[in-house]
């Protein structure tokens, strides 16, 4: 980490309960794993929907997934600049989550494409401070299109 | 357990009402339902009010306008199934033997509360990453097209059909028919869905007076329609990624309703289903078992869901054509079916309809396949 960054400049997660940010551009999604049957959930749950066990462990989720389906959102609420690609991403743990898809022309997005998690700036808090969130990006292009 | 009958039905003009409030509209609908039932307003024993964005004690404000004081009343919220949930709660109060005559009203003055694309609750993690309701259904449409080969033109036939039906419904928000080209050329909202694939922002209210079998016999004027089933379910939590081209929640709720009514999907003569988006009608009728999975787009193309078809779907114009005042929608579906089964369908009358089905689905929450779903079956 660069020296001289004070605490105020450390990246702040836009949703601390769902995304742990460990440094600039690094972090992971936070889910639950059932201690009894092994089912995974995102976001975290207090009990397992498969076996109703309350023994849920908080675990980091995989940073790789595949695109189940997607859309290009052209009308949204004011905090989101349109257009943006929105998709459902399937993780190897058996979790499907919604994410924006970045780093790819909307015309090149395809169902089934491999994706990787990207920890990046994502909006601002009420005082105008930058927040850190997540998007998924095509696994093949990685950071070259930033 | 007593049967439940619809004695009276009322519904306001759907559309934009800049000079009215949700309680004005609700009171209009309740008054019409009571008049239609032909009963003294003092016979009403209890009330249920469904709405989403109208604030605290909306139902009390409606009844106060009508001078109906002192009744037990509950306001219910279940997103777009709120009105349908009010009907169900009213029917349960009667089946439980607690009341004999109950009113259910749904109302929404959406133009004053809301604009643009509807989103899930801001606390929801999906809303935080940019989920919109059109976006969610657009993703389902994309996947359905990929899996079944449905074309964009086939999907456009659903708003074309429903807006044609709405052109025959004097209470509908949109009276102008549209073409496939109009749908394809309308403003993109969330690919592949365009503006005409989306239900509009609407103000309106609808109400029904329900009665026990005994009260219906005493008060009814021979026009009572039996509410044979009123089922409600909440979506199950997904424990693994599941298909988004079929709706287990709709299927599960419909199964409850068919069992309760003692009929099957093959007995249904007309259906009002929750077509908040064009693709939604496809997923709904297939989940309800009214058409085989993956086959509805071709059936629409063949005219099977038209007013003169094998099974008319959304004869009222549906949410796409009639409009979608969230809390009123589920009650308005029941109003349409009651009128059709009585033979009061006007230019859109379905000949000899005996069994009608109403389906609502509301809300989005992370990790569950749909929030609230209702299926109601009405029998002449």
Q: Tell me the pLDDT tens digit for each residue of A15-61.
A: 999 999 999 999 999 999 999 999 999 999 999 999 999 999 999 99
State the maximum Cα–Cα separation within chain B, in Å, rounded to a whole number.
57
Kindly identify which residue of chain A lies nearest to residue B368, measuring between CA atoms: A49
Give chain A positions within 8 Å (CB) of B119.
76-77
Report the alpha-carbon distance of residue A108 to residue A140 in Å, rounded.
12
| Integer CA distances (angstroms), B301 to B158, B296, B370, in order | 9, 9, 28
Q: Quick one: CA torsion of B111, B116, B118, B121, rounded to 10 degrees? A: -90
Q: What are A30's two structure tokens?
A: 């936070």
CB A83 within 8 A of CB A73: yes
What is the CATH code of the structural domain delimited by B125-200+229-379?
A: 3.40.47.10
Q: Which CATH fold topology does B4-114+202-227 show?
A: Peroxisomal Thiolase; Chain A, domain 1 (3.40.47)
pLDDT reported for residue A144 = 46
Cross-chain Cβ contact A73/B125 below 8 Å: no
Mean pLDDT of chain A: 91
Report A:33-92 residues touching B (Cβ under 8 A). Answer: 39, 41-43, 45, 48-50, 68-77, 80, 84, 86-88, 90
User: Under 8 Å CB-to-CB from B297, ≥6 apart: which residues?
Assistant: B148, B150, B151, B154, B155, B157, B282
Are the folds of B4-114+202-227 and B125-200+229-379 the same? Answer: yes
What are the residue numbers of the active site of B? 80
pLDDT band with cut points at 50, 70 and 90 for residue A6: low
B147, exposed or middle or buried, with CB in 10 Å at 0-12, 13-18, 19+?
middle
Give chain A positions within 8 Å (CB) of B366.
43, 98
3-state secondary structure of B333: helix
Q: Any idea where the domains of chain A sit in the sequence?
A: 7-145
Q: Tell me the pLDDT tens digit for each residue of B353-366.
A: 999 999 999 888 88
For chain B, what's the residue count? 380
Q: Any idea where the domains of chain B sit in the sequence?
A: 4-114+202-227, 125-200+229-379
pLDDT reported for residue B116 = 67
Give chain B positions within 8 Å (CB) of A50.
239
pLDDT reported for residue B270 = 98
Q: Which CATH fold topology does A7-145 show?
A: OB fold (Dihydrolipoamide Acetyltransferase, E2P) (2.40.50)
pLDDT reported for residue A74 = 96
CB B278 within 8 A of CB B161: no
pLDDT reported for residue B285 = 98
User: Is residue A1 within 8 angstroms of chain B, CB to CB?
Assistant: no
Who among A72, A77, A111 is closest to B190 (CB)?
Answer: A72
pLDDT reported for residue A8 = 55
Report the alpha-carbon distance of residue B335 to residue B15 in Å, rounded.
17
Report the alpha-carbon distance of residue B37 to residue B243 in Å, rounded.
44
Which of A29, A76, A105 is most worth mutating to test chain B (most B CB atoms within 10 A of its CB)?
A: A76
B372-379: strand order across its sheet: B73-76, B46-50, B101-109, B203-212, B4-11, B225-234, B372-379, B355-362, B270-272
Angle at B15 between CA B12 and CA B19, to 5 degrees: 80
pLDDT reported for residue B94 = 98
User: Is residue B57 within 8 angstroms of chain A, CB to CB?
Assistant: no
Q: Which residues of chain B have pLDDT under 50?
A: none
């Amino acid at each position: 980490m660069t020296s001289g960054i004070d605490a105020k400049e450390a990246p702040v997660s836009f949703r601390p309960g769902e995304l742990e940010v460990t440094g600039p551009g690094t972090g992971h999604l936070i889910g639950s794993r059932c201690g009894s049957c092994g089912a995974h959930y995102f976001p975290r749950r207090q009990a397992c929907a498969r076996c109703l066990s309350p023994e849920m462990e908080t675990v980091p989720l995989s940073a790789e997934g595949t695109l189940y389906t997607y859309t290009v959102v052209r009308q949204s609420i004011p905090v989101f600049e349109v257009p943006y690609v929105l998709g459902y991403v399937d993780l190897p743990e058996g979790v499907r989550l919604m994410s924006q898809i970045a780093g790819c022309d909307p015309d090149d997005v395809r169902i089934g494409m491999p994706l990787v998690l990207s920890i990046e700036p994502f909006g601002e808090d009420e005082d105008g401070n930058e927040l850190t969130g997540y998007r998924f990006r095509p696994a093949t292009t990685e950071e070259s299109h930033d | 357990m007593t049967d439940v009958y619809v004695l009276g039905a009322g519904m306001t003009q759907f559309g934009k009402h800049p000079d009215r409030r949700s309680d004005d509209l609700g009171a209009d609908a309740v008054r019409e339902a009571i008049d239609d039932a032909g009963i003294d307003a003092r016979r009403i024993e209890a009330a249920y009010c469904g709405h989403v964005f109208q604030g605290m004690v909306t139902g009390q404000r409606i009844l106060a306008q009508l001078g109906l004081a002192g009744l037990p009343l509950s306001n219910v919220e279940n997103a777009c199934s709120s009105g349908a949930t009010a009907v169900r709660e009213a029917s349960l109060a009667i089946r439980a033997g607690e009341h004999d005559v109950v009113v259910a009203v749904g109302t929404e003055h959406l133009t004053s509360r809301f604009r643009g694309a509807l989103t899930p609750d801001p606390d929801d993690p999906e809303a935080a990453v940019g989920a919109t309701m059109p976006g969610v259904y657009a993703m389902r449409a994309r996947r359905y097209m990929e899996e079944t080969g449905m074309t964009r033109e086939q999907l456009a036939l659903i708003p074309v059909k429903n807006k044609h039906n709405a052109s025959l419904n004097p209470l509908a928000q949109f009276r102008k028919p549209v073409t496939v080209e109009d749908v394809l050329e309308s403003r993109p909202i969330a690919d592949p869905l365009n503006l005409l694939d989306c239900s509009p922002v609407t103000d309106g209210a609808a109400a029904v007076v329900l009665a026990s079998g005994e009260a219906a016999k005493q008060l009814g004027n021979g026009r009572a329609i039996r509410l044979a089933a009123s089922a409600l379910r909440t979506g199950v939590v997904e424990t693994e990624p599941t298909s988004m081209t079929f709706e287990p929640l709709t299927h599960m709720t419909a199964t409850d309703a068919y069992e309760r009514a003692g009929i099957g999907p093959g007995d249904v003569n007309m259906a009002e289903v929750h077509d908040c988006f064009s693709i939604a009608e496809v997923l709904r009728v297939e989940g309800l078992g009214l058409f085989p999975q993956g086959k509805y787009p071709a059936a629409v193309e063949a005219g099977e869901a038209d007013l003169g078809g094998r099974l008319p779907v959304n004869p009222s114009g549906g949410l796409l054509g009639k409009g979608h005042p969230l809390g009123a929608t589920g009650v308005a579906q029941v109003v349409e079916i009651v009128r059709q089964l009585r033979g009061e369908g006007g230019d859109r009358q379905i000949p000899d309809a005996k069994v009608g089905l109403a389906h609502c689905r509301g809300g989005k929450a992370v990790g569950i396949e749909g929030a609230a779903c209702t299926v109601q079956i009405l029998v002449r």
